[in-house]
Amino acid sequence: MALSGLQIFKLLPKTNCKDCGFPTCMAFAMQLASGKAELSQCPHVSAEAAAELGEAAAPPVRKVTIGAGEMAVVVGEETVLYRHEKRFEHPPGIAILVDDSVDDAAFQQALETFKGQQFERVGQMLRAKLFAIESADAAKLAARVKKASDETGAGIVIMSEDAAALKAAAEPIKDKKPLLYAATSANFDAVAGAAKELGVPFAIKAATLDELAELGEKCVAADYKEVVLDPMSANLQDALRDQTYIRRAAIKKKFRAVGFPTIAFPCRMTTDPLLKSVFAGVFVAKYAGIVVIDTLDPAQVLPLLILGQNIYTDPQRPMQMDQGIYPLNDPTADSPLLITTNFSLTYFTVAGEIEASKVPTWLLVMDTEGQSVLTSWAAGKFVADAIAAFVKKSGIEEKVSHRKIVIPGYVAQISGELEEELGGWEVVVGVREAADVPRYLRSL
């Protein structure tokens, strides 16, 4: 049973020291009760109080880890329904389905493709990290699970109706935390027992939300914490409803029986490859913890990964670069000098176009708290006096022999004032769009 803010407050030190980032212990207690703060933010809470607060402090959607090391996928720990309320914590894991329709040669090819498939975007490496392996043949299931785990390091979702087959396939790789999929009302004790014995997470599935909640109650009663829910939604409309009900009940009602991340199978909701991608995108947005697809086509995998990256970025902390001088394409003292802001997306777009141009260039990146050019200009951060102060202290004057700086076309209006502030520099208005940078640089 979740505790109220007042009940939590009674267990806190009541010193109002503000070390948790909140002005008072009461304010912290209220945030903790609503799932918008974590107990670990208060460094002064006693061990006894921490134990008592354990249930209240647990996130409304439990954390589940599948896989190990660099390939570990952490899902759950979500505390809000909408990203703007705070942030979403963990982007969904993308799992590649291999079932009995995939022959051995195609399976081997999938492993090879999987190993080499990763994408860099705004300084982060993105990739699918899970395989979902299903077979009605226990020996084949065990062999494929072991092979996929050994050769790729991926986290494995092991899929079978047979609890003994699940256990046998999971046993050799139990240290890599595979997910057993799935316990039903018919085999709950056997699957949950195997998961407990091996120390691995397991999924529960049911055709209705009521049945799913009943299985969830059993998990809560038995203190199984690493559980994944499959509402087995028949179509996209039902799926969106089910995912929303589950998330809403977990967060708004603190209904622990459904307070676990979910798994979704858009690849089994349609045969149209394009629709499969669209459906998968819906699950990335709302609210699956694991999205199972049946392709490694980069044209379908990459958009899902980017969607997850975009949605799961903390809206209060834009991805940003360090302020400084970035030499691109081995610039010399005569090379042109451009300036932009430290919003990661801006930096990587501009830097990528400069690199593609092959023109040696200096890129000055100014700290605007991760805001883009126009936003930071509107916020008074990327304006003439601030830019001039930054240019002068950046050290660029020791690196270039000229005194000419190119500003983004979107802030053409500050060119005159910036020239005055800089004194002795020529300020040139560049292009608006990064895509035009190569043409512009070559024309200089």
Tell the residue number behind the tokens 């043949």, with chain if given. 137
When asked if residue 56 is in the footprint of ligand SF4 (CB under 6 A), the reply is: no
Of 16-24, 60-68, 143-151, 159-167, the window that binds ligand SF4 (rule: CB under 6 A) is 16-24
CA distance 293 to 340: 38
Nearest to 141 by CA among 158, 156, 155: 158
Supply the minimum distance, in Å, between the C-beta of residue 50 and ligand SF4: 11
When asked if residue 10 is in the footprint of ligand SF4 (CB under 6 A), the reply is: no
Of 9-17, 54-62, 184-192, 429-437, the window that binds ligand SF4 (rule: CB under 6 A) is 9-17
Supply the minimum distance, in Å, between the C-beta of residue 79 and ligand SF4: 17
CA distance 5 to 328: 53
Nearer of residues 44 and 442 to ligand SF4, judged by Cβ: 44
Supply the minimum distance, in Å, between the C-beta of residue 325 and ligand SF4: 40
When asked if residue 12 is in the footprint of ligand SF4 (CB under 6 A), the reply is: yes
Beta strands in 78-191, from DSSP E residues, in sequence order: 93-98, 119-121, 124-126, 130-134, 155-159, 179-183
When asked if residue 9 is in the footprint of ligand SF4 (CB under 6 A), the reply is: no
Beta-carbon count within 10 A of 236 CB: 16
Instruction: Please count the helices (runs of H) and the strands (runs of E) in the chain.
Output: 16, 17
When asked if residue 126 is in the footprint of ligand SF4 (CB under 6 A), the reply is: no
List the end-to-end C-alpha distance of the chain, in Å, as a whole number.
68
Taking the CA atoms of 415, 411, 351 and 315 in sequence, report the sign of the dihedral they define.
positive
Nearer of residues 25 and 192 to ligand SF4, judged by Cβ: 25
Do β-strands 155-159 and 130-134 pair in parallel, antiparallel, or remain unpaired?
parallel
133 Cβ neighbours under 8 A, 6+ residues apart: 98, 99, 141, 144, 145, 148, 156, 157, 158, 159, 169
Taking the CA atoms of 375, 376, 379 and 383 in sequence, report the sign of the dihedral they define.
negative
Of 17-25, 110-118, 221-229, 428-436, the window that binds ligand SF4 (rule: CB under 6 A) is 17-25
383 Cβ neighbours under 8 A, 6+ residues apart: 377, 414
When asked if residue 15 is in the footprint of ligand SF4 (CB under 6 A), the reply is: yes
> 10, 44, 115, 442: which one contacts ligand SF4 (CB under 6 A)?
44
CA distance 36 to 54: 15
When asked if residue 17 is in the footprint of ligand SF4 (CB under 6 A), the reply is: yes
Supply the minimum distance, in Å, between the C-beta of residue 15 and ligand SF4: 5
Tell the residue number behind the tokens 């023109």, with chain if given. 359
Nearest to 403 by CA among 428, 384, 436, 439: 428
Of 12-20, 56-64, 137-145, 314-322, the window that binds ligand SF4 (rule: CB under 6 A) is 12-20
> 3, 8, 11, 25: which one contacts ligand SF4 (CB under 6 A)?
25
Residues in contact with ligand SF4, counted by CB under 6 A, come to a total of 13
Supply the minimum distance, in Å, between the C-beta of residue 369 and ligand SF4: 26
> 3, 8, 11, 22: which one contacts ligand SF4 (CB under 6 A)?
22
Nearer of residues 5 and 352 to ligand SF4, judged by Cβ: 5
Supply the minimum distance, in Å, between the C-beta of residue 250 and ligand SF4: 25
> 30, 33, 39, 42: which one contacts ligand SF4 (CB under 6 A)?
42
Residues that bind ligand SF4 (CB under 6 A): 12-13, 15-20, 22, 25, 28, 42, 44
